[in-house]
């Protein structure tokens, strides 16, 4: 089975006049590639990807300040924004292994396997209830003039109103 892997790294910043500290892999998290979110969507996108596929979560992650809970958001969907995708955010729990479980003690030099639990999925819309769609065709003004090769930074969520780039 294919899986997505999240890697937890520690980057140690030091003074600019000395060599950077090494990067250390702390843990890994495996999410099955066929995992579904909790949006309640059905059907498939233009590429055949299920509309409720859990993925595209790496655009933003923020700690909630509560336990091991985080919010994750995407600015576009599958195929780097080629498919129109209903924008959503997820509340997740990313937790270290239980220290009382013998299997949670990895061999020396092996990163720990943390757990990932999807708690909720919230679809985004504007104040009028119009869905936000993530697509390459939604180019925010800040991305204008950035030149070729900036497709990644030019993807965004925009309202799915008639005549909007997402609906063209």
* Interval 26-61: pLDDT, tens: 788 888 888 999 999 999 988 898 999 997 676 788
**Has residue 84 got a pLDDT over 90?**
no
Q: Which one is predicted more confidently, 36 or 143?
A: 36
pLDDT band at 9 (very low <50, low <70, confident <90, very high): very low
Lowest mean pLDDT segment, chosen from 56-60, 67-71, 84-88, 125-129: 56-60
Where would I find the beta strands (DSSP E) of the chain?
3-10, 24-32, 60-63, 69-73, 85-86, 88-95, 112-113, 115-123, 132-135, 156-159
pTM above 0.85, yes or no: no
Tokens, residue 49: 């990807």
pLDDT band at 125 (very low <50, low <70, confident <90, very high): confident
Report pLDDT for 44.
92
Report pLDDT for 144.
44
* d(C-alpha 77, C-alpha 41), whole Å: 14
Domain count, the chain: 1
Q: Which one is predicted more confidently, 136 or 123?
A: 123
Name the burial class of residue 82, with classes exposed (0-12), middle (13-18) and buried (19+) by CB atoms within 10 angstroms of its CB. Answer: middle
What is the domain range of residue 17?
3-167
Report pLDDT for 114.
87
Report pLDDT for 106.
60
């Amino acid at each position: 089975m294919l899986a997505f892997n999240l890697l937890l790294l520690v980057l140690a910043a030091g003074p600019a006049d000395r060599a950077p500290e090494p990067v250390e892999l702390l843990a890994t998290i495996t999410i099955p590639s066929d995992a579904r979110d909790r949006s309640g969507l059905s059907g498939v996108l233009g590429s055949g990807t299920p509309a409720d596929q859990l993925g595209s979560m790496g655009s933003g992650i923020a700690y909630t300040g509560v336990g091991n809970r985080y919010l994750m958001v995407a600015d576009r969907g599958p195929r780097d924004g080629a498919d129109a995708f209903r924008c959503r955010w997820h509340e997740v729990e990313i937790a270290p292994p239980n220290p009382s479980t013998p299997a949670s003690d990895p061999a020396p030099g092996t990163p720990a396997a943390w757990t990932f639990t999807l708690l909720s999925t919230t679809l985004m819309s504007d104040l009028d209830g119009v869905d936000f769609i993530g697509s390459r065709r939604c180019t925010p003004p800040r991305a204008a003039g950035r030149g070729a090769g900036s497709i990644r930074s030019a993807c965004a969520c925009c309202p799915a109103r008639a005549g909007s780039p997402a609906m063209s």
